[in-house]
Amino acid sequence: MTTIASESGTRPVTDYRRDTGHRWQTVLLEIIKYSVLIPLTASFAFPLYWMISSALKVDSQVYTVPPILLPFPIHPVNFIEGWQILPFTRYAVNSVVFYTVPAVAFTVLSSTIVAYGFSRIRWPGRDTIFWLVVMTMMLPWAVTMVPLFITFKWLGWLDTYRPLVVPALFSHPYIVFLLRQFFMTLPEELSDAARIDGASEFGILFRIILPLTKPALAVVALFRFLWAWNDYLGPLIYLRDENRYPLALGIEQLSTRANDVGNFSNGIPYLMAVSTLVALPIIITFFFAQRTFIEGISLTGMKG
């Protein structure tokens, strides 16, 4: 796929449109296009809009027929009150300090080293073994879920974040794959020159290759961040103590709590407010690193 990537710039896109025929046909096509696209996009956006707008309501604005599209007055205090019903600050610290940060750091570090070994050093059998990496990418995690649980239980790691972050020290096949793709694009001469100067392989990796692949590192770090931040099943299996919950389990806890009548009113607005707050870092990151996201996700498909 990648080989045919770069020939398109020769003629402006508009030529293609002009060739298709008469003006009115083009206009009709445009109308059809937008009349599909706009409602479609609106329906993609609606659930998130509804999440945010409901976060600003009180109970009396939630249970109405017809539903209130634009709440007034709004109640931004829900964001504070909802956050305080359960120790969400602690959950956030758990999510960041005990899960996301170590998972990202460990994965990126270990996967960088492994990807280097699979791309910048020529050793016999390398590409054959790399196939194993590709195959593990496709291995359903369900198969190893139960025995890993038993193993971690045996190690006494249940109710800690170790089952979720220690494996990150051993690299992640998907991220190794992505980084390898990046490393392969760098010219071999870079390394050769450094080797002649007596640099070690680790020296080459950290002083020459990594500075050149910062965008790639950003991509994989971003993806790992996303997986850890959004992970629900992992913490669900391994964590029992509420004090150690990450945000994902905290939200579920809040929804259960909102189900107990008599606990508090505004259950739905609080739930939506906290959900918004948990989704927010992801959405903000997306807007700041949009190009990195799109490039990264585009690259994942480039293995045909």
- The residues in 122-161 that bind other proteins, with binding defined as CB under 8 A, are 122-129, 132-133, 136, 138-151, 153, 156, 158-159
Give the footprint of other proteins on residues 173-192 (CB under 8 A): 173, 176
Cβ neighbour number for residue 178 with a 10 Å cutoff:
22
Among 77-85, 86-94, 208-216, 296-304, which window interacts with other proteins (CB under 8 A)? Answer: 296-304
**Are the beta carbons of 302 and 5 closer than 8 angstroms?**
no
198 binds other proteins (CB under 8 A): no
Q: How far is the CB of 76 from other proteins (least distance, A)?
A: 18
Considering only residues 209 to 228 of the shown chain, the ones binding other proteins according to CB under 8 A are 226
Nearer to other proteins, 77 or 129 (CB): 129
Task: Check residue 22 for interaction with other proteins (CB under 8 A).
Answer: no
Any idea what DSSP says for residue 249? H
Query: CB-wise, 135 or 212, nearer to other proteins?
Result: 135
CB 298, min distance to other proteins, A: 3
Sign of CA dihedral 196, 202, 207, 208: positive
Residues 261-290 that bind other proteins (CB under 8 A): 261-262, 267-268, 271-272, 275-276, 278-279, 282-283, 286-287, 290
Q: Kindly state whether residue 80 participates in binding other proteins, applying the rule CB under 8 A.
A: no
Residue 94 binds other proteins, judged by CB under 8 A: no
Residues sharing a CB contact under 8 Å with residue 293, sequence separation 6 or more, in sequence order: 219, 222, 286
Q: How far is CA 35 from the centre of its chain?
A: 31
CB 103 within 8 A of CB 168: yes
CA torsion 111-246-74-47 (nearest 10°) is: 60
Q: Is 19 in the site for other proteins (CB under 8 A)?
A: yes
Of 77 and 139, which CB lies nearer to other proteins in the complex structure? 139
Question: What is the largest distance, in Å, between two alpha-carbon atoms of the chain?
Answer: 76
Burial class (CB in 10 A: 0-12, 13-18, 19+), 68: middle
DSSP secondary structure string for all residues of 95-146: IIIIIIHHHHHHHHHHHHHHHHHHHTS--TTHHHHHHHHHHHHTS-HHHHHH
Residue placing its CB nearer to other proteins in the complex, 74 or 277: 277
CB nearer to other proteins: give 7 or 189. Answer: 7
- 36 sits near other proteins (criterion: CB under 8 A): yes
